[in-house]
Amino acid sequence: MKLYWVTTEDHDEDWFMVAPSATEASQYFENYEGYDPGDAEAEEILDIPETVPAETGWPSEELLLEVGAKFLFNDQTRVVEIAGRKFCEGMLAATINEITDDFFEELGEGRPNKTKKPPMI
């Protein structure tokens, strides 16, 4: 199995994928995230050692750590370093969480996702 970095033109959901080939990584990503065939591009990052259990799909944080990843930022949006290269998770989930928190805050119910308030301009 291999670890791939999978991206799309909008970069909304960019993240790692475990698969035996770049084609399978892209297809799994497109199917799971609702993209059209051919929208995702998978770049091979590394071979996963046979001693590390891995199945096709999203890697766990444990798997990433086992293959040498360092989490530089692990909050709403994760930033990971592997072999001196930095990867930033797509921002769609973080954006949705911030919009949700803004809505709940307007209702006087706080910020359930604990996102930071946007600065006042």
pTM of the model: 0.78
Query: What is the Cα–Cα distance from 71 to 52, expressed in whole angstroms?
Result: 19
pLDDT at 95 over 90: no
Over the stretch 27-81, which tens digit does the pLDDT of each residue have? 999 999 999 999 999 999 999 999 999 999 999 999 999 999 999 987 767 899 9
Radius of gyration of the chain (CA): 16
Sign of CA dihedral 87, 89, 95, 101: negative
